[in-house]
Amino acid sequence: MTVDVTELVRLRTQRPEAIAEAAARRERRALVGTSGRLMIVAADHPARGALGVGDRRFAMANRADLLERLCLALSRPGVDGVLATADILDDLLLLGALEGKVVMGSMNRGGLQGASFELDDRFTGHRPEDIERLNFDAGKLLLRIDYDDPGSLTTLESTARAIDAMAERRLPVFVEPFISRRTDEGRLRNDLSAEAVTRSIAIASGLGGTSAYTWLKLPVTENPDDMAEVMQTSTLPAVLLGGEVGDDQDGAYEKWRGALQLPTVQGLVVGRSLLYPADGDVAAAVDTAVGLL
């Protein structure tokens, strides 16, 4: 579909209440459908200032283009829903693209990419009460832990309280944990070794007063053969994240395929890899990912 930016701006200017109205009448569905699997397209990167895809530094900066890619992805068979921040979800509500889809609100986007305070990842996105009010289906939060950065403790504590608040509302929350560290140049890097991912799973699984509504959103380890042992760390249901766009997309698919056979892995939450594939064919990339499920 072609996104009419003029019409979106008109609605936002003249009828801002149209967003809440669209959320109230939206057709909802179960989090996990009859397939028993979950396929979510992610688009919450821009709110952290992370606009790059591969060597294209501002690929995600064109909002109309991003919305068109999202609408195409959401229209493909087997795609269950979307993860995004309020501005993007509001646009998709106005476009009518979220009917019968799982809608997942992105909760903490305060850890701006490249900032000195990146690990003090404040909750600047959806609050649990917003997700409940808008009749959305779940929330997602990012938990990066650097043992050398005191900002991680703030994020750890606020994450636990967010898990509690979501559980009080019986709303699933997807926790995306990493053990992270800064390079000599000061850039933040996530450690994808088996040891680090195992440790991150153990920490995230124990947060809050109950884990009843907690899911994990996890990367495939550097060595995919380690995933079977790593995923023994918790009984919480998990989805795999897509990560950075690389040249070897087929290799990424194979990593996902293997990990999806593990008992706790219930699906995929993938963004840039599918929305901005190297060959430009969004539909084919999405269909291939759905086929892995």
Mean pLDDT, all residues of the chain: 94
Going by pLDDT thresholds of 50, 70 and 90, the confidence category of residue 245 is low
Q: Any bridge partners for residue 141, and if so which?
A: 175
pLDDT, tens digit (0-9, with 9 covering 90-100), for 137-182: 999 999 999 999 988 999 999 999 999 999 999 999 999 999 999 9
Q: Residue 231: CB partners within 8 Å, gap ≥ 6?
A: 201, 218, 238, 259, 262, 263, 264, 265
Q: For residue 165, what pLDDT is reported?
A: 98
What local confidence, expressed as pLDDT, does residue 244 receive? 66
Give the tens place of pLDDT for each residue, 195-215: 999 999 999 999 999 999 999
pLDDT at 103 over 70: yes
Hey, what domains does the chain have and what are their CATH numbers?
Answer: 5-19+38-292 (3.20.20.70)
pTM of this prediction? 0.95
In tens, the pLDDT along 270-284 reads 999 999 998 899 999
120 Rama class: left (phi>0) / alpha (psi -120 to 50) / beta:
beta
| 171, amino acid identity | L
**For residue 247, is pLDDT > 70?**
no
User: What's the CA angle centered on 248, arms 243 and 253, to 5 degrees?
Assistant: 65
